Structure 1
Amino acid sequence: MNEGKLLVTANHVRDVKDFRQYGKSHLIKSKVIRQTSISLSPYDTNLHINEERFVEDVSCTCVYNKSKKCKHIAALVYIINHEESITKTSHEQQWGNQTPVPVSLLRKSTQNAETAMKCFLAKK
């Protein structure tokens, strides 16, 4: 796990994505930049976990993943257990800030345009 932590602190774990499958299990994917040859394509790592967060299966495109215990998988496990997730409640409230009205709303219909304009003017 220590080598995985080193990959995370070196910012080699990128593009972490969480896909929910059938509402029960998760597939978490990432790309891990190689330590020795950063110009080569990164390794693709996959982590399948169930709803209790137990690992069901792992895969990595590196040559050391035959035992399913490579440092790239360790890095993915480390990052999902230690990184802060940014949620809507992690930010300062935004109620008072003006929100731009998309031009596409104004073009759809006169009623949409009037509603959008009222919202816009009410915020001024």
Structure 2
Amino acid sequence: MMKVRLTLAAVFAALASGAVAAPSGQQLFEQRCGMCHSLQQAPGKMGPPLAGVVGRKAASFPGYTYSAALKGSGITWTADKLDAYSKAPTKVVPGTKMLLGAPNDAERAAVIAYLASVKK
């Protein structure tokens, strides 16, 4: 047990010092968002594809059935809007289908920067 604690302590120290690189936005997208979203249209995904989402009007991807709440939100997805929505979707758009948020500020920023780089 002591060995495990020392190992975890070493990992946390390495992360804090920057010796271990944080996951990239692409890696975080694949790990955290990829269960529900793809970049391009993919069968079996619960959420809409997200390539080209930055700058796109909410609820506008053709062929996806959005909630009435998101359709009526009037949102255009800027980095700030994506940040607020992905942190607490139901607070930003009550009645949205997306229920889980991402609490980590740095991870959200990395994913949003990645999505901004991915064009449709």
Provide TM-score, normalisation by structure 1: 0.28
Higher relative contact order by CA 8 Å / sep ≥ 6: 1 or 2?
A: 2
- Structure label with greater radius of gyration: 1
Greater share of strand residues, 1 or 2? 1
Greater share of helix residues, 1 or 2? 2
